[in-house]
Amino acid sequence: MSHRLFFWPALIAVTLAAAPLSAEEAGTRVFRQTVTVFPQLDLQRSLGPDVYLRAIYECLAFGHFRGTAGLSLSFTPFTIDGYFLELAADDLFGTGLGVHLKAMGDEYPEYGRAANTLQPYLVWRYAFVDLAFGVAWRFLVTDPNWLWCLFDYDPFMVEAIFYYKIGFVFELFDKAWTISVSLSNQDEFYVGNFGTFTLLIGNRLTLDENWSVFFDFIWRPAGTIALTAVNSDFIFRLGGRLSL
Amino acid sequence: MKRSIRFTVLSFVALILSCNLDGWGWLFSSDVDDRYADNQSLTAPTFAGPLSEPFSFVVIADTHVFPGNDTSSYFMDFINQLIPGPNGDRFVLVCGDLVQDGALADFQTYADEAADIESLGVTVYSVPGNHDLYNNGWPNYRAVLGPSMYTLAAGPVRIVAIDSANGTLGGPQRAWLEGVLASRAEPYCVTFTHMEFFSEGITETQQWTDINEAYSLMHLFETSGVNIHLTGHTHSYFVRTINGTTYLTVPSFAHGFVRVTVSGGVSWEVIYFS
């Protein structure tokens, strides 16, 4: 039932992704590269604090097509704990609609396992609204020889998870200060379960046309969907972004 | 636009009210660390009498006792399926969501039903689920049933009751669990709790928020030699064995139960009510 439920949205997403841009848009050959680096402090109530150093590279082509890669380094233990590759086509035909496909690996070598997540999802960014809906297929990897293979998908170890984000972005002072608020079950290096939500409050200050700095506060409660919420994680990020 | 927002808000409120859920629980609930502190002054249950292989025990989950739910007939059907005797079913583990919304009267009804089972010489051990915490349900649970996290030896089996009703263990319970598993002397180990680790369907509300914590726990179970980790919550039978530890989700009480047999090893079968 669950897979049939997502058959038609997936088909629509694939169709939209295959649709060519207009010649006018394709003629606008603009490449814009962005590098984002930030340390992250994660206060997890059961496991204690952890510090991460994360970097995301993004290449935007023609104002619509986007390729993104991310790498996360954990300090307890000291290891690469996450990475992803993402392809996207955004703002198709000026509708604000976009299709994304993301392959993400969350590594837990200290536990002898990894989670490879395949995430096809739709986004709609229009005015101050930022929505994302899709599915995340999370594949558990327990074979130590395959922990670092991003595309190891064992069908007997899969979980299907509804992927969502309901966000709002407010640009103030001539876009110098951006405030974003979102409710979701995911972020760049994480997909939680359907029964949980992540509240993100982000601030980004644009310094000039190349540089910006940001501060994010993230709260992840546990047990939320069935209304027995307690704090699970508090996350703080402070980073910089360079656009070329 | 305003109408659609109003409709959405009213629908959400109606859903909350119709399910008799605890709306404030969306943000705040009984805290697992507070329950851990409470547990320090509560007496852990024990298993009385000798117990040696072969024998069996039974696992149920999600009884959801509340006025109007005909759980008495479910309990009657269940009692009729129990196998008495020294080599039969010696105890019952209940994996949470004992009652629907944390009401004291419902916990007392549940305790009465459990007493009927225990009158057959089959001891009942319970843990709380998220439904048991609704509407400040923990004081009611504690008053009627006692601790939410405990361990006991039942013959050759170390049993560990884990409180996962909030979808997280918390630091103190986590440290306690590590100590229990590290010091056990019994050849078999069975853990039981409410929240399961895996989501089988896209709309299942599996509640381990942080997969880091979930994977950490699974690693702890597997390296500690836990034979079976028993859970409820999703009302559907599910089993997966990883590195020697079996993760088994029990069907809801309305549909069936699982019988675990200890005889030179640990095996199980799922039994559905006809």
Read off the pLDDT of residues B230-249 as tens digits, 9 standing for 90 and up.
999 999 999 999 999 999 99
Distance CA A143, CA A149 (A): 10
Q: Which two tokens stand for residue A140?
A: 């558990």
> Helix (H, G, I), strand (E, B), or coil: what is residue B51?
coil
Q: Which of A219-223, B65-69, B101-105 has the highest mean pLDDT?
A: B101-105
**Extents of the domains making up chain B:** 1-28, 31-272
Read off the pLDDT of residues A105-155 as tens digits, 9 standing for 90 and up.
999 999 999 999 999 999 999 989 999 999 999 999 998 888 999 988 988
Contact state of A225 with B205 under an 8 Å Cβ cutoff: yes
Q: Position A188: which residue type?
A: E
Residue B32 at interface with chain A, using a CB cutoff of 8 Å: yes
Q: Which residues of B touch A113 (CB under 8 A)?
A: 215, 218-219
Of the residues B207, B217, B234, B242, the best mutation for testing chain A's interface (the one with the most A CB atoms within 10 Å of its CB) is B207
Distance CA A6, CA A8 (A): 6
Read off the pLDDT of residues B59-78 as tens digits, 9 standing for 90 and up.
999 999 998 888 888 999 99
| Mean predicted confidence (pLDDT) in A178-190 | 92
The mean of the pLDDT values for chain A is 87
**How do A177-184 and A186-187 pair as beta strands?**
unpaired
Cis, bond preceding A144 (omega within 30 deg of 0): no
Distance CA B221, CA B243 (A): 10
Please, what CATH class does the domain formed by B31-272 belong to? alpha beta
Report long-range pairs for A209-218 (Cβ below 8 Å, ≥24 apart).
Answer: A209/A243, A210/A242, A210/A243, A210/A244, A211/A240, A211/A241, A211/A242, A211/A243, A212/A240, A212/A241, A212/A243, A213/A238, A213/A239, A213/A240, A213/A241, A214/A38, A214/A238, A214/A239, A214/A240, A214/A241, A218/A187
The mean of the pLDDT values for chain B is 91
R_g (Cα) of chain A, nearest Å: 18
B169 min Cα distance to partner chain A (Å): 6
Q: How far is CA A57 from the centre of its chain?
A: 13
Q: What is the ipTM of this complex?
A: 0.86
This prediction has a pTM of 0.88
Read off the pLDDT of residues B166-215 as tens digits, 9 standing for 90 and up.
999 999 999 999 999 999 999 999 999 999 998 878 877 767 878 899 99
Q: Which two tokens stand for residue B96?
A: 């949470």
CA atoms within 13 A on the CB side of B265: 5
The single residue listed with the structure tokens 């404030």 is B24
